[in-house]
Structure 1
Amino acid sequence: MKCRISTELGEIIVDTDVIAKYAGTIAVECIGIVGMATKNVKDGLVNLLRKENLSNGINVTVEDNRLCLDFHVIVAYGVSISAVSDNLIETVKYKVEEFTGIGVEQINIYVESVRVID
């Protein structure tokens, strides 16, 4: 899927994978986020994604040239999930809109697991 931005000189097309990778790097920098997650449907286990695969934990859809992002995250044990989620939403919305010039309509956060970090 792609986003289209029209300018006076032509059109800019941004692949949603680019947006997902960028959003993933922002997410893992947020305090309280251990990493992005993917769920193995076969056995129901949640796996922590490596930096090169962060976009697998994010689903980006485009509706009427507005972005909807779904994050599957692992949070640190002992943090407020609500506070971490609010920070993630605010940070990602601001930085993605600044980066792409496309408005973010909705951000959904799915907490897949909680991990103790050292």
Structure 2
Amino acid sequence: MKGSSMNTHMGKIVVHNDVIAQYAGSVAVECFGIVGMAGVSVKDGLVKLLNRESITRGISVTLDRNKLILDFHVIVAYGVSILAVTDNLISNVKYKVEEFTGIEIEKINIYVDGVRVID
């Protein structure tokens, strides 16, 4: 099991990386300007918008020196400032994931894999 763990006075707590990815993904898609998470096909290199059920495929969670490193592959809305969207994403995810897990986030990497026009 790949998970992030912490020791408390009552024992050890292990949070599976998929749980962290699912929570981080749900926080990310609530952010302004984020259309959704991106999945890149290794076979043909095409980027596709992931549905809610497979949102964790667009997020990588790594625990390094008891700190989390999150990688997001996102699709942003056409016409919005990518810098503003990513700053908003970083601040929201950092605050909410640290509150949820109790584990400090060292780094959040964002890869903008596509742009979509929203109706």
* 1:52-95 deviation line (CA, Å, top 9, x unaligned): 11110000000011000000000000000000000000000000
Distance 2:11 2:42 in 1: 42
Matched, 1:91 2:92: yes
Percent identity over the alignment is: 65
Q: Which runs of 4+ in 1 moved over 6 A?
A: none
- Unmatched 5+ stretches in structure 1: none
Looking at structure 1, the residues matched to 47 and 57 of structure 2 have their Cα atoms a distance apart, in angstroms, of 12
Give the TM-score normalised by structure 2: 0.97
Distance in 2 between the 1:53 and 1:16 partners?
Answer: 14
Q: Which residue of 2 aligns with 1:24?
A: 25
- Indicate whether 1:113 and 2:111 are aligned: no
In 1, Cα distance between the equivalents of 2:43 and 2:4? Answer: 32
Structure 2 residues not aligned, in runs of 5+? none
Q: Give the TM-score normalised by the residue count of structure 1.
A: 0.98
Counterparts of 1:1-118 in structure 2, within 5 Å, are 1-118=2-119
What is the letter of the counterpart of residue 85 of structure 2?
V
Distance (whole Å) between structure 2 residues aligned to residue 32 and residue 58 of structure 1: 17
SS in 1 for 2:55: helix
Aligned alpha-carbon RMSD (Å): 0.6
Q: What is the alpha-carbon distance in structure 2 between the residues aligned to residue 42 and residue 12 of structure 1?
A: 38
1:43 deviates by 1.5
